[in-house]
Chain A
Amino acid sequence: MNAHSDTDRDDSSQRDWQRQREALRALHRDVLDEPVPVALLAAASSAARRQGQRARWLGWSGIAAAVLIAFGIGWIANGQWTLQRTGAALAQTPGNRAFAHEAAVAHAVFSPEKRHPVEVAAAEQQHLVQWLSRRLDRPLKVPDLSAEGYALVGGRLLPGDDGVRAQFMFEDPAGRRVTLYLGAVGDKAAPSTAHESAFRFSSQGPVPSFYWVDRGFGYALAGDASRELLLRLATSVYRQL
């Protein structure tokens, strides 16, 4: 059933829509062919088991089979979960500390700049985000820190130990600057180990920073500011990203 054709006014808008639709369908096409993650299979079969238990009309053999499948999958999934959790706990700290240090150094290098603090200024924010999203291979967003009194100065691309990094710079009316440093972190072969972490405060390095890992991405908010202010800014960034 072609539900959308009746809103289309003419051929060209029909063609535009076809192009848009094809682009959207191509966007994550590969996900359809990926094997379904074990934990999702387990969740599905546990739902199926409930339905099975509830449906009186279903024969005992059916229930037994469903329970058996659910149990089997649950067993495997459980093993996976345990592994991941341990891995995450073990792999967390050292890499992240290096990340926070890189962020603090990048802050110290660029934030005193009068003429070239950033590569792309806030006036070209749209271009800035498009460019850095492409280079970091992730749709980025610039957090809005105006509620905390900070406006975007701009951003730049940087090399980190593990690959590309981006730095967004913000400044308050008095010209005090903070920077947000971000990029993919963790073992590429096992992204789960870099999934997420709590906020961590680091006072080592040229300036203090709060850093955290969220969905395989590391973030560090650095600046010559109090711990309280940095935490407030980091929390605001975390909520928005």
Chain B
Amino acid sequence: MDPGPLVEHIPSLRRYARALTGDAWAADDLVQDTLERACSKWRLWIVGSDLRAWLFTIMHNVFASQLRRAPPRAVVDVDGDDAPELHAPDAGHEQRIDLQRCLLLLPDDQRAVLLLVALEDLSYRQIARVLGIPAGTVMSRLSRARSRLHALMEGEAAPTVQRPSLRRLK
């Protein structure tokens, strides 16, 4: 097989991973692990099916398993990764740092749904398959993620522990 189709997806995998982890090194680590996992699981990919959705599914599984483990300490590749520059603090840049920081405050499953919709334009059905959850859960996670992110960016620190507002019936 021509590696072209696989290579074509690397930039968007990298961007998604960057937003998901908030870290250039961790992101490329995640992409590398995803490609290696894809390599060992080729048999499971059906030729002609949606390669991108399949790759995102693998990435999600790798990401979830990394969270359960201790943080990885392996040396990773950083080729093509620009050195962190010294930024003069400009407003746009500060906003991006704020956005990434607030993204990281979202629960992992909410962040994943939000990014798959916003960055990848995947449909609810595709996302449901990628994350292995029902489509209804995708929708509710998306709406929670959106309002939580909005609140965080506006500085109305939403409570870290979600207390469902149940009405008490007496």
Residue ranges of A at the interface with B (Cβ–Cβ < 8 Å): 1, 3-4, 7, 16-17, 20-21, 23-29, 31-41, 43-52, 54-55, 58, 62, 65-66, 69-70, 77, 80-81, 84-85, 88, 126, 129-130, 133-135, 137-141, 163, 184, 187-192, 195-196, 214-216, 238-239
Q: Cβ of B109 < 8 Å from any Cβ of A?
A: no
B22 to chain A, nearest CB (A): 5
Contacts of A48 in B (CB 8 A): 1-3, 6
Residue of A nearest to B47 (CB): A55
The answer to whether A215 and B11 touch (CB under 8 A), given A39-B79, A191-B84, is no
Residue of B nearest to A55 (CB): B1
Q: Which of A20, A133, A141 contacts B97 (CB 8 A)?
A: A133
Contact with A along B10-31 (1 / 0, CB 8 A): 1110110011001111101001
Q: Cβ of B114 < 8 Å from any Cβ of A?
A: yes
Residue of A nearest to B29 (CB): A215
A29 to chain B, nearest CB (A): 8
Contacts of B6 in A (CB 8 A): 44-45, 47-48
In the complex the two chains form, is B117's CB within 8 Å of A3's CB? yes
Residue ranges of B at the interface with A (Cβ–Cβ < 8 Å): 1-3, 6-7, 10-12, 14-15, 18-19, 22-26, 28, 31-32, 35-36, 38-40, 42-43, 45, 47, 70-71, 73, 75-87, 89, 93-101, 103-104, 114-115, 117-119, 121-124, 139, 142-143, 146, 149-150, 155, 157
Contacts of B139 in A (CB 8 A): 7
Q: Which of A29, A38, A50, A139 contacts B22 (CB 8 A)?
A: A139
**Max chain B C-beta neighbours (<10 A), residue from A26, A134, A138:** A134
Q: Which of B23, B82, B146 contacts A17 (CB 8 A)?
A: B146
